Structure 1
Amino acid sequence: MNKKENKIVPSLRFPDFVNEGEWEYFNGNELFKPISNKNHKSDLPILAITQDQGAIPRKLIDYHVSVSKKSIKSYKVVEVGDFIISLRSFQGGIEYSNYFGLCSPAYIILRKKIQLTNDFYRYYFKSFPFIQDLNKNLEGIRDGKMVSYKQFSEILIPKPKKQEQEKIANCLSSLEDVIITESEKFDLLQDHKKGLLQQLFPAEGKTKPQFRFPEFKDDGDWELSTIGELGKFYYGKSAPKWSLSEDAPTLCVRYGELYSKFGAIIKNIYSRTNIDPETLRFSKGGEILVPRVGEDPFAFSNCSYLPFPDIAIGEMISVYETEENPIFFTYYFNTLSKQFARVVEGQNVKNLYYVNLEPIEICKPRSKKEQQKIANCLSSVDELIETQTQKIKALKKHKKGLMQQLFPNVNELTV
């Protein structure tokens, strides 16, 4: 390594550039300058500065924050190709703008001083080596404080030859296009499932679904009943957060996981508790779990089917047992967000007591075969969604690993 010239090479390099020598590094202020152009008529779109989509018009992401006309006058003009240092750059790197618009004066806009490949730096500024170096420069001042241009200027930033910049940018852009395509497929599957849920179960006040499989079209209306008539509830028992440990002996389910980790059918158990088993309540296998505590009244319908026996169930969960098809009724409960929300109690922390769930009217097919057919249909779609989820995770992991190899770690550079 040539210490005087501040050079280093990536661990993975395209064959065309293996013999091109080492990368040059420059201080941030040698490659980018701060821009504070407030010369506008306040008629440009206001940009939200996000970690996952960069700078993007607020209206495209349903971002609603009211701003006065007087405040907009102080906003800065952002041009296509600008980079923005945000309040959270120490977490997610520096953002890029594909849009011409305005942003809050709280942000620092960076513009190239020399000819550089936009996409190369768009990826580099989101890479682990850069964020790691940025944090080294920010030690002790994180708590929501802004990265200054002076701090950015002290960071060494790579500048390989233009052709290599473009090659790396094209490689990562191609992979990103694949991820976007697969994410769109995921969204289509989610929309398809949402449509099926709306059509396969009767709307409120109805006793027949919009769509019926051909073999059940002549079976007549579904039977009107209530949740309480078709099954019975009990509450789980305490498995508090402090009792959790990876090496604890007892597998358990906690209410927060119904919102964050589980789908309609629980495939894996993630938590273990040290609580004395004598004080816990265990599953038999085949129960429906309903969250009893939450913040959003319309999220209480995030119910999950637990197929496993001998799993400790946390106290903030209502457990529903039925002689009917439990997977069918799990999906049915998923469609009852409005009905569940109506009987939620509390202000900041909201509770859904099962005594309030029991009177809710629901219908059931006269044939258990129809219940099974619907359950099989929806669980098949869920399997496709899970496969797609894993595919996207694998692609993102591949991209992350590729970026770590294509961009040298500046912390290895000795000056």
Structure 2
Amino acid sequence: MKQDRTTVVPRLRFPEFRFRQDWGSTLLSNASVPITERVGNRKLTPVSISAGTGFVPQAEKFGRDISGKQYTLYTLVRDGDFVYNKGNSLKFPEGCVYQLRGWEEVAAPNVFISFRLNREFVADYFQYCFEKNIHGAQLKKHITSGARSNGLLNVSKEQFFNVSIPTPLRDEQQKIADCLRSLDEVIAAQGRKVETLKTYKRGLVQQLFPREGEALPRLRFAKFANNSSWHSQKISSLLRKTAIAVNVEPETTYREIGIRSHGKGVFHKEPVQGKAIGEKRVFHVVQEALILNIVFAWEQAVATTSGSEIGMIASHRFPMYVARPGKCDVQYLKEFFLTQRGKHLLGVASPGGAGRNKTLGQKEFENLEVVLPVSTDEQTQIANCLSSIDFKIATESEKLDSLKGHKKGLMQQLFPTQQAV
């Protein structure tokens, strides 16, 4: 194995390698060979590369095959080969590199840089180096401007193949790759668990709420099976708006809330002094209220407040509604507005163009008719059922994020620092 740079050492090594020599560094030009074979008349899937995802068919990413007359000039890439997409992204500002796996053969745009690793190196190990963005840290100095008109960075093949990869002996490369691959499998399994829960909830929602044109849901809890039919009621008959204005003191510290889209709930902003709020109208957050973001209500920016928001404030863009006695459960209404039917109604009450122009009209919102059980106990049962699944999804999602964070920290230990490379 030819070493091209000074030796380096990671912070963490497996016990069997701790007393071995320090790592060397190998230029990509010495570790691989460029791929120049053209697709020609072969019928292959034209692909692109998405940061964080890898290879995707062009028809899936762009909605159509964009290869056109350039197709025959595309590069023939086989399983095991690597491709560098020098388009910038948030995840990989200097471009991303992925190894083709499970596709057999594809057609890659010839503006990408394709290469095949020499047999003395472990492909999975190099893929983790690219995932850690070891290449990006070195290419950064060559990028003198933003993306060109075609969206690609001005990185030449010579500059790319001059990237230096920290390389221990092959058996240590394999050990690192095996360790991270096993962790990836755990992360993937946890990701599937989260998606299964989300799919289960979507299916349950379809059963617990009546479908369009139907008076009753397909599924009811046993204790309510013989209850009367559901009915439609205007929001104004179920809720009343509450707005307790705050007299902002310049030197007093306040904490505002916001509402995420897609039913992702309330979030708490950083504390600020009253003088930073200025003339903006703000109101006390009321507990157990239905609250909406009028700018993104059409995107299901709807939530309910809890004891966690006591003492906080919200701007006039976040109207709050409390239940009229005995009329409804606000948690049920939140769950209703997170259904497709609820989303449609929020869109109806948010006239205008796209994005920030689709502002929720509060009068229009109060005139909306929603479908719900006559019994508030049944509303609560539905809300509690769905909330319990939401809690499970949130718990498993936190585990997933924790695993991803563990992997990121482990990679920082298993590879030398960028400065050392």
Q: Residue 11 of structure 2 aligns with which residue?
A: 11
> Compared with structure 1, are the counterparts of its residues 156 and 322 closer, same or farther at alpha carbon in structure 2 (3 Å cutoff)?
same
1:141 lines up with 2:145 in the alignment: yes
Q: Residue 170 of structure 1 aligns with which residue?
A: 178
What are the equivalent positions in structure 2 for 1:351-362 lying under 5 Å apart? 351-362=359-370
> Compared with structure 1, are the counterparts of its residues 170 and 278 closer, same or farther at alpha carbon in structure 2 (3 Å cutoff)?
closer
SS of the residue corresponding to residue 40 of structure 2 reads coil
Deviation for aligned residue 1:395 = 0.5
Comparing 79-88 and 385-394, the one that deviates more: 79-88
8 Å CA contact 1:129, 1:409 repeated in 2: no
SS of the residue corresponding to residue 48 of structure 2 reads strand
Q: Residue 254 of structure 2 aligns with which residue?
A: 250
1:404 lines up with 2:420 in the alignment: no
Following the alignment from structure 1 to structure 2, what is the Cα–Cα distance between the partners of residues 5 and 67? Answer: 41
> Compared with structure 1, are the counterparts of its residues 248 and 379 closer, same or farther at alpha carbon in structure 2 (3 Å cutoff)?
farther
Following the alignment from structure 2 to structure 1, what is the Cα–Cα distance between the partners of residues 227 and 270? Answer: 44
> Compared with structure 1, are the counterparts of its residues 139 and 103 closer, same or farther at alpha carbon in structure 2 (3 Å cutoff)?
closer
Q: Residue 25 of structure 1 aligns with which residue?
A: 25
Deviation for aligned residue 1:276 = 4.9
> Compared with structure 1, are the counterparts of its residues 183 and 146 closer, same or farther at alpha carbon in structure 2 (3 Å cutoff)?
farther
What are the equivalent positions in structure 2 for 1:354-393 lying under 5 Å apart? 354-393=362-401
Q: Residue 269 of structure 1 aligns with which residue?
A: 268
Output one character per residue of 1:24-77: Cα deviation in whole Å (capped at 9) or x when no partner.
212221112332322332521122201112123346x66514425423233222
> Compared with structure 1, are the counterparts of its residues 73 and 352 closer, same or farther at alpha carbon in structure 2 (3 Å cutoff)?
farther
Comparing 167-176 and 338-347, the one that deviates more: 338-347
> Compared with structure 1, are the counterparts of its residues 40 and 203 closer, same or farther at alpha carbon in structure 2 (3 Å cutoff)?
same
AA at the equivalent of 1:232: R
Q: Residue 94 of structure 1 aligns with which residue?
A: 97
8 Å CA contact 1:250, 1:277 repeated in 2: no
SS of the residue corresponding to residue 402 of structure 1 reads helix
SS of the residue corresponding to residue 260 of structure 2 reads helix
* TM superposition score normalised by structure 1: 0.86
Deviation for aligned residue 1:200 = 1.2
> Compared with structure 1, are the counterparts of its residues 290 and 151 closer, same or farther at alpha carbon in structure 2 (3 Å cutoff)?
same
Output one character per residue of 1:118-166: Cα deviation in whole Å (capped at 9) or x when no partner.
110111111154433333x335434452432222233221222211111
Following the alignment from structure 1 to structure 2, what is the Cα–Cα distance between the partners of residues 93 and 104? Answer: 14
Q: Residue 327 of structure 1 aligns with which residue?
A: 331
Output one character per residue of 1:249-284: Cα deviation in whole Å (capped at 9) or x when no partner.
211123xx4227x625x4x52344431598411221
What are the equivalent positions in structure 2 for 1:6-405 lying under 5 Å apart? 6-41=6-41, 43-58=43-58, 63-67=62-66, 69-86=68-85, 87-88=87-88, 89-91=92-94, 93-98=96-101, 99=103, 100-135=105-140, 137-138=141-142, 140-143=144-147, 145-233=153-241, 249-254=253-258, 257-259=259-261, 263-264=264-265, 266=266, 268-273=267-272, 274-276=276-278, 279-294=281-296, 299-307=298-306, 308-323=309-324, 324-335=328-339, 336-348=342-354, 349-405=357-413
AA at the equivalent of 2:351: E
Following the alignment from structure 1 to structure 2, what is the Cα–Cα distance between the partners of residues 234 and 30? Answer: 69
Percentage of identical aligned residues: 26
RMSD: 2.8
8 Å CA contact 1:90, 1:142 repeated in 2: no
8 Å CA contact 1:28, 1:154 repeated in 2: yes
8 Å CA contact 2:281, 2:316 repeated in 1: no
> Compared with structure 1, are the counterparts of its residues 31 and 332 closer, same or farther at alpha carbon in structure 2 (3 Å cutoff)?
same
* TM superposition score normalised by structure 2: 0.84
Following the alignment from structure 1 to structure 2, what is the Cα–Cα distance between the partners of residues 199 and 84? Answer: 46
Following the alignment from structure 1 to structure 2, what is the Cα–Cα distance between the partners of residues 42 and 352? Answer: 53
> Compared with structure 1, are the counterparts of its residues 72 and 248 closer, same or farther at alpha carbon in structure 2 (3 Å cutoff)?
farther
> Compared with structure 1, are the counterparts of its residues 140 and 20 closer, same or farther at alpha carbon in structure 2 (3 Å cutoff)?
same
Deviation for aligned residue 1:286 = 1.5
> Compared with structure 1, are the counterparts of its residues 25 and 117 closer, same or farther at alpha carbon in structure 2 (3 Å cutoff)?
same
8 Å CA contact 1:84, 1:94 repeated in 2: yes
Deviation for aligned residue 1:328 = 1.1
SS of the residue corresponding to residue 398 of structure 1 reads helix
Deviation for aligned residue 1:12 = 0.9
Question: Structure 1: which 5+ residue stretches go unaligned?
Answer: 239-246
Deviation for aligned residue 1:409 = 1.9
AA at the equivalent of 1:76: T
SS of the residue corresponding to residue 339 of structure 1 reads helix
AA at the equivalent of 1:406: L
AA at the equivalent of 1:344: S
Answer 1 or 2: higher relative contact order, Cα 8 Å, separation at least 6.
Answer: 1
SS of the residue corresponding to residue 316 of structure 2 reads coil
Question: Structure 2: which 5+ residue stretches go unaligned?
Answer: none
8 Å CA contact 2:94, 2:153 repeated in 1: no
Following the alignment from structure 2 to structure 1, what is the Cα–Cα distance between the partners of residues 127 and 234? Answer: 55
Comparing 275-284 and 212-221, the one that deviates more: 275-284
SS of the residue corresponding to residue 281 of structure 1 reads strand
8 Å CA contact 1:33, 1:112 repeated in 2: yes
8 Å CA contact 2:27, 2:162 repeated in 1: yes
Q: Residue 244 of structure 1 aligns with which residue?
A: none
